[in-house]
Amino acid sequence: MEPINPRISVRYTQGATIVAFTDEKILEESDIRALQESLVSVIAQAEPMNIILDFQSVRFLSSAVLGLLIRISKRIYERKGRLKLCNIDAKIYEIFKITRLTQVFDICQDIEAAVRELSQAH
């Protein structure tokens, strides 16, 4: 069996679950399906439902990933959770701006800022 890509790393801080994408490219449909399975699993276990998605390693992603992010955010919000995105590459951020996803997602500069915003909301 081939390894699951893209890989993620998960760590927990006080009040948030941080999911870091570890691959530079998230382009293939099989990768996106694997990513969705991983994220759904993390969301199912997260308590409290505060998720930070860290894009530090990501340099390329397909438009299908944007659709996945929208589906994931819907699932989090349905469970009264909060989602923050951070460390988004400038070129990818431009795509978020063009598609107006900057109005849909709460995007922070880095993990520290995302954690700070989540802790201030309580």
> Does a structural domain hold residue 116?
no
| Distance, CA of 53 to CA of 3 (rounded, Å) | 22
The 10s digit of each residue's pLDDT in 36-51 is 999 999 999 877 789 9
- 3-class SS shares of the chain: helix, strand, coil, % to 5: 45, 25, 35
Q: Is pTM, for the whole model, over 0.75? A: yes
Quote the pLDDT of residue 48.
76
Tell me the CA end-to-end span of the chain in Å, nearest whole number: 44
- List the CATH number of the domain containing 84: 3.30.750.24
Residue 116 DSSP SS3:
helix
Q: What's the rounded mean pLDDT across residues 2-6?
A: 50
Is-contact 45 54, C-beta < 8 A? Answer: no
Is residue 69 domain-resident? yes
Range of the domain at 47: 8-108
